[in-house]
Structure 1
Amino acid sequence: MNHTQKRLLVVNTGNLLKKFIFKRLKELDVSIVVLNCEKNWADSYVDDWILADTTDHAASLAAVKAYAAKNTIDGVITFWEDDVLLTSKIATAQGLVGIPLEIAKIARNKLFFRKFCESEGLQVPKFFKFTTIEELQKAKSELQFPVVVKPTYGTSSAFVTKVEEPEQLDKTIAYIQSSVSVAMESALHEGLTIMVEEYIDGDEVDIDMLLQNGKLKFWSITDNHASSEPFFIETGDTFPSLLSDDAQEELVSMAEVMLEKIGIQDGCIHFEAKYSSNGPMPIEINLRLGGGYYYSFIKKAWNVDLIESSVKIALGEYIPKMTKPENPKKYFAADCFIQKESGIISSLEFPKSFAAQDKVHDFVFFKEVGDTVLTPPLSFDYLGWICAYGDNPHDAQENLQKAKAQVSFEIVPFSGLSKIGKTIRKSPISPAWLQSSEGFDKKKIDRVHSMPASSYNKLVIGIACNQYTGEDGSVEAELTNVGKNIQKALESKGYKTIFIDFNDIGKSISILQQGKIDFVFNVAERLNNSSLLEPHVASLLDIFQIPYTGSSPFTLGLCLDKIRVKKMLTYHEIPTAKWDYVYSVDEAVDEELEYPLIVKPANTDNSIGITQQSVVKNAEELKAQIKYVTEELQRPALIEEYLDGDEYDVSIFGSELDDVRVLPLSRSIFKHDDPKKWNIYSFDSKWSASDHGNVEVQRPPKNVSKKLLSLISEIALDTYNILGCHDYGRVEIKLDRNGNPHVLELNPNPSINIPDCVPSVAKLTGMSYEDFIEQILLLAIKRYKDKLPYHHLQPVV
């Protein structure tokens, strides 16, 4: 740290959407210290960390106090709504510029805010807080409908619901009480109380303001497009406001008076209001920088840097009053991508980058094909937004619509919801209230997302596996043992576990419906005793919104289909043996393929259907083996040029560039007494003890050039990433007679029993089996924590 720099404490990094804030902070002449539950994506922007659970205010205050005893803290700030109150406590405890706790409570709590306004004679809608049936009945009789029901804490309009008629009020309240929780809406750590108030008509706006020493230094107004009711889903914005100058001055005057009366002296404020038929009306006050694109709009239009100004205010550095020019440098228009029905994204297309003439300011899309989208009242998923600019409001809106036309997506709705919707139309809450008990629930994922690392072993882990009796074969015994060993390993680390045997699908679904499981360790390989249905176990977990280890249903399904994998490898120019495929013995095989060839079932695992007879030397043998695969095994046949070199297993950990690592390689050297035998892993050589002696396994490989090992590792990593593997997987690579590596396949769900390849090479790094299993779990937790719901964010600028 430069000794002339001041030290700024930032409370909570927030999620990846806050990255632009930390990039800007890094550019300022300040030292950044972050109070957060753990180090994360922001590490490269942070000079120092204070690690504590920010939901535990006592622990956080103690951690800051200990840090401040050795290091001067010059200012404190937060850009994360959940931690506004904690930031107030820290400011008071450390004698820093900030908003006193009692004042912050009034602003953050919608009920306290309404009561304060009422006591000061400020105009507010009529409202009620209720905890009893009697209070509810009084609200019904005294309020003028429509009304709005909302949690007193909360962000982004989550669970804010418009109710048209008194008879709908009970069910709406029951829906919110049964659905909302701290796990789903983290801003509710301060408590869950529900209030109802009369609906305010008119145009909704956001007023972004800078206050210092009680004086208004800057303001800017954004028009909100009409929200999607009854759930007040944000649909877009126009910036700057198109309201008349008089209306804007009234709104700012109302907000300024309100902030003065409450006692807010310093900070960047995001004030939500409406210009109603009765004049300006407050909705709520956010004691932080507005989220999303507000910062960039204001910076581009007015050349005012809200982040820099917020930092100066927090550090006690004077900022002058900022006078806006008569016209902004740019006009902006933004639309949110919203969907009316819950479902699965089936198609999605948008440009990799927009052309300069499109005048796109910002574009983000949070989802990808195959992702679940839950709309109110099930949940409040946002798909993303797009913003465009122009020389005037009309140009900005026209450019927005042209750019938006380049983005297309389709969502296949959940049939269960559409059926309910057809039978109950009067109240939008009714189908959701009924549906909420049927499994479409994000609480498990959101719990993981907000949980500090110190609490991970409090998670209840389900072990998704297949259990067989001792009379079954060696493959079945392996499937049974791996689940039991994983269960023992996790329990030795202090986790509570529940075994889920997917051979009993009815019982498995019943266990999942009970809601006791927080996270699933998924090693299930069969459903209805078919390995082809393996991906559906992960699909089922997605439907129940229970996070799990391992790859997605798409990757699991893709890797079962060796033909599609070969197509993808060929397309991406990943080295793989020359190949062809057929579905019947009558189909022609590419005549350019050179014998010997190997014929494999195109959609089996565990080397099922692979024997010494799978390698063929001529057309007659080829036809016989194709007939065996397509008619006896009833599978498509994959035909490849035979590779006679050593085979390498490349075990990989992780999901993203920052955590993917290749474990030590495993090399298989084939040593047959009979020279006529082929160098392949047949079913017998994998599963028959008598045949193991024909293969020498080296872990790690001996007397192999580092250059070859690096090349094999790099090819494997490309394959792992191209096929979308998560958390762990094993890439199988074989050398040809010239020592060139070729990818055979990727196993995204390899066996991880104690003696198996992946845990064995992990052991070479000093990792016990128990540590290995926990590491997979922690990688999966990190993936859900860091990536959802923003891991497919596609910024344009």
Structure 2
Amino acid sequence: MKNGKIVGQNGELSGKTILLVNTGSIKKKFIVQRIKKLGLHLIVLNKEIVSWAQPYVDQWILADTGNHQEALQAVKVFLQDKQKVNVDGVMTFWEDDVLLTARICDRFNFIGIPFDVAKKARNKHLFREFCVSHGLPAPRYKLVKAPEDMEYVQNNFVFPLVIKPTYGSSSAYVVKAENFEELQEIYNYVKKNISTTGESALADGMDIMVEEYIDGNEVDIDMLLQNGKLKFFSIVDNFKTEEPFFIETQEAVPSSLPDKDQDKLVEMAEKILEKLGVQNGCVHFEAKITKTGPMPLEVNLRLGGDEAFAFSKEAWHVDLIDGALKIAIGIYLDKVIKPEEPYKYLISQTLTPPHSGLLVKLDLDEKLKTNKNIVDLFIFKEVGDSVLVPPEGYEYMGWVTVQGYNDLDAEENLEEVLKDIKFEVAKYDPASSIGKTSRKNRFSMAAINTNILKGAAKIENIRRLVLKDKRDFRIGIIGNNFAGIEGTVQNEPASVGNQMMEVLAERGYQVTLFDFNNVAKAYQELKESNIDLAFNVCERINGSSLLEPHVAALLDTLQIPYTGSNPLTLGICIDKIKVKKLLTYHNIPTPKWDYVYSLDEEIRADLEYPLIVKPSNTDNSTGISNDSVVTNPAELKRQLKQVIVELKRPALIEEYIEGDEYDVAILGSEEKDLRVLPLSRSIFDKLPAGYWHIYPFEAKFLNDPIYKNNIELQEPAKNINVKLSSLISEIALDTYSILDCHDYGRVEIKVDKNNNPYVLELNPNPSLSPKAMLPAAAKLVGEDYGDLLEQLIVLAVKRYQKKSFDYNLYNFSL
């Protein structure tokens, strides 16, 4: 050993063959990469081929590592069939397979830790029993399997106590209880939730134990042992965990504990490992230093997780992967003589959100790429991933390790780095759709049900069952007949009613059109009619879209069931300012915004140009042109005057989002029947210079060739990242639910250059013209225009059949 570096003959590991048991998760990718960089031939025993590890693996042995007999047989067959391959050693870096690796060492005579020894160390209850029987320090503990065990704990133990699984890792299901009532609640929680899904390292057993809480400073001791001799150790300070779930926060190396305490910790660890019979291996020993001396917590017979490798490598110039490989293969290690001071002081931070939810935003400042103080930055969660923290799960997003000239310098550097790592996790809520959807491919529908196919099948079966009896229904179509009236905006509502009548009549329905251009006449006709259900596709009363919500109110007063949303939802959604306030209140991502009712009102100073100025209460892009996007105060003032003075509308000002626009069509009213149809995407990249990436009035209703020929409309969206697709769908679902939409709706979402989504608006009763976005999306999943109309009938009928007549007016979300 020289200068703290493991040395020997050059390329001592090059050409050697190692059998690695389980690649582990992608968090372990750096280990697999390091093994290949050291020049080894890598054979991996794994249940399946893992795509991220494939480039580094020379040969795979495929077997279920959770089934030891199957795995041992697979290794035996491989060694027999590949006699020319000389396996020099076996090892694992994955807690789940410590026991299997020990069995392989026993069976095939490799260097390692015997199974009997590994089982005593890995089972926390057996480890406590071992410590007590050998006169080693241990808290009072009890295996809990029956009610009388809890009574024993209550009568004989001193609170606080800790409940933990006898197996497992990463503090999963390890919870602190301050009193007996909490103990019972926590025990029931752990018993109910403990599973290998939440923590794969529990595969070896799910017994639960209770022990007295150990108060003191916690440390990790990373060790290399060969032939029973300690060749290297590094003590890492653990900062106080977030209790009661012992969530890790920060760690630092070198330890700031007094030398005498560090000596006691190492002496205790050596004694325990010697008595256990651990002769060879890389060990991650967890302990506390208390008022009465050192106390062992756990013995992990593998390399410590996350930052353990970087800590030893950077602080002491000791490569734990290199050392562990050499021990497994039998290459002699000199003892490491550490310098008085480390080469670097390091501190790490575990990136854990304050609550469970979906990662909806992740911003890593460009400065991080050139920050020389960062030793390791690993984030394995992506936008769109769920992050489950206690009590829902035991996940985190990643970690960052930072260096400094001393411990204070390292802490200050960490504080600066954390300022450049910004993320947002949308909190789970019983009413929230965040994190509950998945999308098989771009043609499939996102269903809130866990199993998409089952959910879609149930909806389809219900639809068919209801349709069998519903084609005798008398349907009223509430619309606007603009026949003979000039105007591009009026053309669509004038035709949609007639098209719906034709299709529904062909399917056997009795259909009547009610023209709300003559409100008094339509109201009287409705009052005297015998229709069973009204299709509300009316967009205007007395020529004003602002009165559209009153159509639904009139139908409510006449007690006529109708499709679509209620008056309150329609009224709110036509007011973009109110929608913005609600989205902001519910933490739905939307462009930063402000609003004014007059030209003398001030606008928030933190809005960044370019901005887009919109009338707050018009539809069909009325009042929106290419000039609506402004780049300086003079342009902003001009456009505000256009909206407020010329159009006589309040003005909504938003930060302009440069990116693709997604339309999200949603069907349903309640959680169990909500569906997201395939997304459509508008790509504006081909627009000429000077044209902003928006849909102005000219693009929607004047067929301006500049827009018509240069905006690419993808139905469905192509080559979209699965996680982004799910995230957009989930945000749209939450928007839809928050605004209490019924039966159908369309959410407009734009993404920025980093694919962060922002809700622009929601149309609760979007166009049902056959060529409109929603019918087009339904067609992609095999539902023609008639099928869609019938499905909306079914959704409305179900909504009214299940609840009281006025239930649709209860805006629970609002």
TM over 0.5: yes
Letter in 2 for 1:139: V
Where 2:392 maps in the other structure, the secondary structure is coil
Where 1:61 maps in the other structure, the secondary structure is helix
CA pair 440-64 structure 1, distance change in 2 beyond 3 A: farther
1:12 aligns with 2:22: yes
2:256 corresponding residue in structure 1? 242
Task: Report the Cα distance in structure 1 between the residues aligned to 2:368 and 2:699, rounded to whole angstroms.
Answer: 52
1:65 corresponding residue in structure 2? 76
1:256 corresponding residue in structure 2? 270
Task: Report the Cα distance in structure 2 between the residues aligned to 1:475 and 1:295, rounded to whole angstroms.
Answer: 71
1:306 corresponding residue in structure 2? 320
1:48 corresponding residue in structure 2? 59
CA pair 642-343 structure 1, distance change in 2 beyond 3 A: closer
Match for 2:623 among 587, 591, 602? 587
2:763 corresponding residue in structure 1? none
Task: Report the Cα distance in structure 1 between the residues aligned to 2:106 and 2:21, rounded to whole angstroms.
Answer: 14
2:49 corresponding residue in structure 1? 39
8 Å CA contact 2:426, 2:434 repeated in 1: no
8 Å CA contact 1:271, 1:285 repeated in 2: yes
Report the Cα offset of residue 170 of structure 1: 1.3
1:148 aligns with 2:162: yes
1:97 aligns with 2:115: no
Report the Cα offset of residue 529 of structure 1: 6.9
Query: 5+ unaligned residues in a row in structure 1: which ranges?
Result: 418-437, 449-458, 478-527, 534-553, 559-581, 593-599, 609-624, 631-635, 658-718, 726-743, 757-797
CA pair 118-398 structure 1, distance change in 2 beyond 3 A: same
Match for 2:35 among 25, 43, 47? 25
Report the Cα offset of residue 157 of structure 1: 0.3
Equivalent residues, number: 527
Report the Cα offset of residue 294 of structure 1: 1.1
Where 2:368 maps in the other structure, the secondary structure is coil
Report the Cα offset of residue 723 of structure 1: 6.3
1:691 corresponding residue in structure 2? none
1:642 aligns with 2:652: no
Q: Cα deviation per residue 1:156-176 (whole Å; 9 max; x = unaligned)?
A: 001101111122211111110
Letter in 2 for 1:19: K
1:706 corresponding residue in structure 2? none
8 Å CA contact 2:346, 2:410 repeated in 1: yes
Where 1:464 maps in the other structure, the secondary structure is helix
Task: Report the Cα distance in structure 2 between the residues aligned to 1:66 and 1:748, rounded to whole angstroms.
Answer: 56
Where 1:271 maps in the other structure, the secondary structure is strand
CA pair 210-591 structure 1, distance change in 2 beyond 3 A: closer
Where 2:366 maps in the other structure, the secondary structure is coil
Where 1:124 maps in the other structure, the secondary structure is coil
Task: Report the Cα distance in structure 2 between the residues aligned to 1:412 and 1:181, rounded to whole angstroms.
Answer: 25
Task: Report the Cα distance in structure 1 between the residues aligned to 2:98 and 2:776, rounded to whole angstroms.
Answer: 42
Match for 1:462 among 454, 466, 469? 454
Report the Cα offset of residue 252 of structure 1: 0.5
CA pair 141-73 structure 1, distance change in 2 beyond 3 A: same
8 Å CA contact 2:165, 2:173 repeated in 1: yes
CA pair 210-167 structure 1, distance change in 2 beyond 3 A: same
Report the Cα offset of residue 356 of structure 1: 4.3
Task: Report the Cα distance in structure 2 between the residues aligned to 1:170 and 1:646, rounded to whole angstroms.
Answer: 60
Report the Cα offset of residue 196 of structure 1: 0.5
Where 2:279 maps in the other structure, the secondary structure is coil
Letter in 1 for 2:301: L
1:125 corresponding residue in structure 2? 139
8 Å CA contact 1:583, 1:637 repeated in 2: no
Where 1:336 maps in the other structure, the secondary structure is strand
Match for 2:130 among 78, 98, 116? 116
2:189 corresponding residue in structure 1? 175
Task: Report the Cα distance in structure 1 between the residues aligned to 2:503 and 2:72, rounded to whole angstroms.
Answer: 54
Task: Report the Cα distance in structure 2 between the residues aligned to 1:394 and 1:24, rounded to whole angstroms.
Answer: 31
1:212 corresponding residue in structure 2? 226
CA pair 209-628 structure 1, distance change in 2 beyond 3 A: closer
1:201 aligns with 2:215: yes
Report the Cα offset of residue 386 of structure 1: 2.3
1:544-555 counterparts in 2 under 5 A?
Answer: none
2:655 corresponding residue in structure 1? none
1:312-461 counterparts in 2 under 5 A?
Answer: 312-345=326-359, 347-354=361-368, 356=370, 359-367=373-381, 372-411=386-425, 413-414=427-428
Task: Report the Cα distance in structure 1 between the residues aligned to 2:202 and 2:502, rounded to whole angstroms.
Answer: 49
Letter in 1 for 2:454: G
8 Å CA contact 2:26, 2:380 repeated in 1: no
* Deviates further, 357-366 or 408-417: 408-417
Q: Cα deviation per residue 1:510-551 (whole Å; 9 max; x = unaligned)?
A: xxxxxxxxxxxxxxxxxx879xx9xxxxxxxxxxxxxxxxxx
Task: Report the Cα distance in structure 2 between the residues aligned to 1:110 and 1:32, rounded to whole angstroms.
Answer: 32
Task: Report the Cα distance in structure 2 between the residues aligned to 1:627 and 1:753, rounded to whole angstroms.
Answer: 31
Q: Cα deviation per residue 1:89-137 (whole Å; 9 max; x = unaligned)?
A: 1111111111111110001000000000010010100111121111110
CA pair 315-238 structure 1, distance change in 2 beyond 3 A: same
Report the Cα offset of residue 300 of structure 1: 1.3
Letter in 1 for 2:19: L
1:228 aligns with 2:242: yes
8 Å CA contact 1:214, 1:266 repeated in 2: yes
CA pair 637-136 structure 1, distance change in 2 beyond 3 A: farther
Q: Cα deviation per residue 1:425-451 (whole Å; 9 max; x = unaligned)?
A: xxxxxxxxxxxxx99999x99xx9xxx
Letter in 1 for 2:36: K
Report the Cα offset of residue 347 of structure 1: 4.9
Where 1:69 maps in the other structure, the secondary structure is helix
2:490 corresponding residue in structure 1? none
Aligned alpha-carbon RMSD (Å): 4.9
Q: Cα deviation per residue 1:32-61 (whole Å; 9 max; x = unaligned)?
A: 000111111101111111111111111111
Task: Report the Cα distance in structure 2 between the residues aligned to 1:13 and 1:166, rounded to whole angstroms.
Answer: 41
Where 1:68 maps in the other structure, the secondary structure is helix
Task: Report the Cα distance in structure 2 between the residues aligned to 1:627 and 1:240, rounded to whole angstroms.
Answer: 66
Task: Report the Cα distance in structure 2 between the residues aligned to 1:353 and 1:601, rounded to whole angstroms.
Answer: 31
Task: Report the Cα distance in structure 2 between the residues aligned to 1:416 and 1:92, rounded to whole angstroms.
Answer: 50
1:482-561 counterparts in 2 under 5 A?
Answer: none
8 Å CA contact 1:331, 1:393 repeated in 2: yes
Task: Report the Cα distance in structure 2 between the residues aligned to 1:262 and 1:97, rounded to whole angstroms.
Answer: 16
Where 1:228 maps in the other structure, the secondary structure is coil
Report the Cα offset of residue 336 of structure 1: 2.1
Report the Cα offset of residue 337 of structure 1: 2.9
8 Å CA contact 1:147, 1:164 repeated in 2: yes
Report the Cα offset of residue 584 of structure 1: 4.8
Q: Cα deviation per residue 1:128-163 (whole Å; 9 max; x = unaligned)?
A: 112111111011110111111100001100110111
Task: Report the Cα distance in structure 1 between the residues aligned to 2:700 and 2:94, rounded to whole angstroms.
Answer: 59
Report the Cα offset of residue 183 of structure 1: 2.0
Letter in 1 for 2:60: W
- TM-score, with normalisation over the residues of structure 1? 0.58
CA pair 720-53 structure 1, distance change in 2 beyond 3 A: farther
CA pair 601-377 structure 1, distance change in 2 beyond 3 A: closer
Task: Report the Cα distance in structure 2 between the residues aligned to 1:184 and 1:54, rounded to whole angstroms.
Answer: 18
Instruction: Specify the structure having the higher radius of gyration (Cα).
Output: 2
Task: Report the Cα distance in structure 1 between the residues aligned to 2:663 and 2:39, rounded to whole angstroms.
Answer: 60
Match for 2:97 among 65, 68, 83? 83
Task: Report the Cα distance in structure 2 between the residues aligned to 1:218 and 1:637, rounded to whole angstroms.
Answer: 74
CA pair 144-3 structure 1, distance change in 2 beyond 3 A: closer
Task: Report the Cα distance in structure 1 between the residues aligned to 2:201 and 2:148, rounded to whole angstroms.
Answer: 28
Where 2:454 maps in the other structure, the secondary structure is strand
Task: Report the Cα distance in structure 2 between the residues aligned to 1:650 and 1:67, rounded to whole angstroms.
Answer: 47
Where 1:462 maps in the other structure, the secondary structure is helix
